[in-house]
């Protein structure tokens, strides 16, 4: 193809211009070209990275979908296994019921954990909850509350199949996780099970059938007041208290008796408020039941004082001696009709019992001065014989009548005299052994220590 003269001229001029520019500005031109090349290389690298991210994202979504599908398949199998086991337990419970039995917490827990029908189901439920917590795929969710919310969609489904009576047994089974309150073998191994049930609020709809609800403040007051009983028993010996064991400490025993009620203990273990334990009047309802109980007990313990203790001791002492005196007088109020054989053949009603009872009750009291009790101890014999004789319905000289008078008198003296000595010994202990204030302080500390060991 031929090029006309004008075109040749333009080519010449352009070539000359380019040559000129290259000759005079070649350094700047090559610098610009290098920058353009670097930019092009960066753009190519970014494009490659973006394509890699898209590929990774697609693969990640695929893996998540596969993980979710795998978990769903496993969960369906586990749920089926759970429901099969649940059916067997429900069949068994048709002829057996634990909710109606009067079992203590520790006995009920021990019974469930070793039961051939219940124990296998409890293990299956545990592994079901454990798989939900540990194996459910949850990606890029930093908020623990949101994670639990997602997990509870599955745990709530599991719980929906469990009837209330079996849910009650589930709560009992994992309620004891250490040996602080109840000594049950291998309880520590149930701590994770317990934490799962709490994590998923598994008993939020549990209906606890309890005829008598426990008010937290009343419980605390009742337990604390038993401290006075412990102080009272400290001063008495075994003979007076009919074999009572001072080491049992009624104030601590009273607290543990509440805990031995499965309904109460379940509420305490899982913080189920206002079910079997009423906490609505507590000043800080945001606390756990165990924290409320600890605070309330400590508050009630601080209110215990020596004045009330002395009053309590006085009332209990007078009640005790009055009861023992009445028992002795009534048992000795006999007419012995067979004098020759000195046997126990008798009929009731030799003398007027209330007058004899009044003779001793009016003098054998805690608020009577010790010296007056001693005077009474040495002088009551003639008054006793006179009352028996004058109130008898059989004033005559029949041999059996005189024998009955003498025998009743001797029997009363034989049993009443040791009581007077015991009362004096009791008063001596208060005055010379340890003061009521010292004993009260010790018993309060024992209860506070027990509260800390149980609930902290």
Are residue 254 and residue 186 in the same domain, yes or no? no
Q: SS3 string of 36-95?
A: HHHHHHHHHHHHHHHHHHHHHHHHHHHHHHHHHHHHHHHHHHHHHHHHHHHHHHHHHHCC
Are residue 181 and residue 290 in the same domain, yes or no? no
> What H or E segment, with its residue span, contains residue 215?
strand 214-215
Q: Which of 33-42, 132-141, 153-162 has the highest mean pLDDT?
A: 153-162
Q: Is residue 39 part of a domain?
A: no
Are residue 85 and residue 193 in the same domain, yes or no? yes
The residue ranking higher by pLDDT, 456 or 160, is: 160
pLDDT at 173 (0 to 100) = 95
Per DSSP, the residues of 173-209 read HTT--SSSS---TTGGGGHHHHHHHHHTTTTTT----
pLDDT at 452 (0 to 100) = 87
Kindly tell me if the per-residue pLDDT of 261 is higher than 60: yes
Rg over alpha carbons for the chain, rounded to the nearest Å, is 44
Are residue 184 and residue 273 in the same domain, yes or no? no
Name the band, by pLDDT with cuts 50, 70 and 90, for residue 326.
Answer: very high
Kindly tell me if the per-residue pLDDT of 87 is higher than 60: yes
Q: How many domains does the chain divide into?
A: 3
Helices 262-270, 105-113: crossing angle, 10 deg rounding: 80
The residue ranking higher by pLDDT, 239 or 110, is: 110
Are residue 94 and residue 182 in the same domain, yes or no? yes
> Quick check: 125 and 59 in contact, CB under 8 A?
no
Closest CA to 360 of 428, 425, 415: 415
Q: Is 258 exposed, middle or buried (0-12, 13-18, 19+ CB in 10 A)?
A: middle
Q: Which residues pair with 214 in a beta bridge?
A: 277
Name the band, by pLDDT with cuts 50, 70 and 90, for residue 243.
Answer: very low
Kindly tell me if the per-residue pLDDT of 456 is higher than 50: yes
Are residue 367 and residue 296 in the same domain, yes or no? no
Are residue 400 and residue 342 in the same domain, yes or no? yes
Residue 57, phi-psi category: left (phi > 0), alpha (psi -120 to 50), beta (remainder)? alpha
**Which range marks the domain in which residue 393 is found?**
320-433
pLDDT at 434 (0 to 100) = 82
Name the band, by pLDDT with cuts 50, 70 and 90, for residue 455.
Answer: confident
Average pLDDT over residues 159-169: 94
> What H or E segment, with its residue span, contains residue 336?
strand 334-336
Name the band, by pLDDT with cuts 50, 70 and 90, for residue 454.
Answer: confident
Are residue 187 and residue 85 in the same domain, yes or no? yes
Instruction: For strands 346-348 and 334-336, give the pairing.
Output: antiparallel
Are residue 193 and residue 80 in the same domain, yes or no? yes
362-412 pLDDT, tens digit per residue, is: 999 999 999 999 999 999 999 999 999 988 876 565 777 888 889 899 999
Phi, psi of 214 (to 5 degrees): -105, 125
- Can you tell me the distance from the alpha carbon of 129 to that of 119, in angstroms, rounded to the nearest whole number? 16
Q: Is residue 49 part of a domain?
A: no
Q: Is residue 175 part of a domain?
A: yes
201-229 pLDDT, tens digit per residue, is: 999 999 987 777 788 889 999 999 999 99
pLDDT at 103 (0 to 100) = 85
Q: Is residue 231 part of a domain?
A: yes
Are residue 124 and residue 234 in the same domain, yes or no? no
- Can you tell me the distance from the alpha carbon of 138 to that of 64, in angstroms, rounded to the nearest whole number? 9
The residue ranking higher by pLDDT, 97 or 351, is: 351
Question: Coil, helix or strand for 346?
Answer: strand
Are residue 252 and residue 324 in the same domain, yes or no? no
The residue ranking higher by pLDDT, 357 or 32, is: 357
pLDDT averaged over every residue in the chain: 83
Kindly tell me if the per-residue pLDDT of 294 is higher than 80: yes
pLDDT at 48 (0 to 100) = 56
Q: Is residue 293 part of a domain?
A: yes
Name the band, by pLDDT with cuts 50, 70 and 90, for residue 246.
Answer: very low
Structure tokens at 326: 């009445």
Least confident of 37-51, 60-74, 442-456: 37-51
Q: Which of 304, 333, 355 is the last residue of a domain?
A: 304
Q: Is residue 30 part of a domain?
A: no
Average pLDDT over residues 302-318: 95
7-59 pLDDT, tens digit per residue, is: 666 655 656 665 655 556 555 655 566 656 555 565 556 555 656 555 555 54
Kindly tell me if the per-residue pLDDT of 239 is higher than 50: no
Q: Is residue 153 part of a domain?
A: yes
Q: Which of 258, 278, 304 is the last residue of a domain?
A: 304
pTM of the model: 0.74
Are residue 136 and residue 107 in the same domain, yes or no? yes
Q: Is residue 449 part of a domain?
A: no
């Amino acid at each position: 193809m031929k090029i006309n003269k004008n075109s040749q001229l333009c080519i010449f001029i352009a070539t000359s211009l380019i040559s000129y520019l290259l000759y005079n500005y070649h350094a700047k031109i090559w610098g610009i070209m290098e920058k353009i090349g670097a930019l092009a290389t960066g753009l190519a690298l970014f494009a490659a990275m973006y394509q890699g991210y898209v590929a990774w994202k697609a693969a990640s979504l695929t893996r998540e979908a596969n993980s979710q599908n795998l978990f769903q398949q496993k969960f369906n199998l586990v749920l089926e296994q759970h429901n099969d086991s649940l059916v067997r337990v429900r069949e068994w419970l048709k002829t057996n019921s634990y909710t109606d039995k009067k079992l203590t917490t520790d006995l009920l827990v021990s019974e469930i954990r070793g039961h051939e029908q219940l124990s296998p189901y409890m293990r299956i439920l545990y592994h079901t909850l454990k798989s939900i917590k540990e194996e459910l795929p949850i990606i890029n969710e930093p908020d623990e509350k949101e994670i639990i919310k997602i997990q509870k969609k599955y745990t709530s489904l599991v719980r929906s199949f469990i009837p209330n009576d079996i849910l009650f047994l589930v709560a009992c089974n994992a309620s004891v996780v250490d040996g602080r309150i109840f000594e049950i073998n291998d309880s520590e191994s149930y701590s994770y099970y317990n934490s799962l049930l709490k994590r998923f609020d598994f008993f939020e709809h549990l209906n606890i059938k309890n005829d008598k609800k426990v008010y937290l403040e009343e419980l605390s007051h009742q337990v604390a007041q038993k401290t006075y009983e412990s102080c009272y028993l400290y001063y008495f010996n075994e003979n007076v208290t009919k074999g009572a064991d001072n080491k049992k400490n009624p104030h601590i025993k009273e607290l543990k008796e509440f805990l031995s009620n499965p309904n109460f203990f379940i509420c305490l273990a899982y913080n189920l408020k206002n079910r079997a334990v009423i906490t609505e009047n507590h000043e800080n309802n945001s606390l756990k039941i165990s924290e409320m109980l600890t605070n309330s007990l400590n508050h009630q313990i601080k209110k215990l004082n020596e004045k009330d203790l002395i009053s309590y001791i006085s009332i209990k002492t007078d009640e005790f001696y009055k009861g023992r005196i009445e028992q002795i007088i009534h048992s000795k109020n006999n007419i012995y009709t067979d004098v020759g054989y000195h046997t126990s053949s008798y009929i009731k009603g030799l003398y007027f019992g209330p007058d004899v009872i009044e003779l001793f009750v009016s003098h054998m009291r805690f608020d009577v001065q010790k010296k007056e009790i001693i005077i009474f101890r040495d002088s009551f014999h003639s008054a006793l014989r006179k009352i028996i004789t004058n109130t008898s319905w059989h004033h005559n000289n029949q041999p059996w009548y005189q024998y009955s008078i003498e025998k009743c008198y001797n029997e009363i003296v034989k049993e009443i005299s040791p009581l007077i000595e015991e009362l004096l010994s009791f008063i001596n202990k208060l005055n010379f052994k340890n003061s009521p204030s010292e004993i009260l302080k010790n018993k309060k500390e024992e209860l506070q220590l027990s509260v800390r060991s149980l609930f902290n």
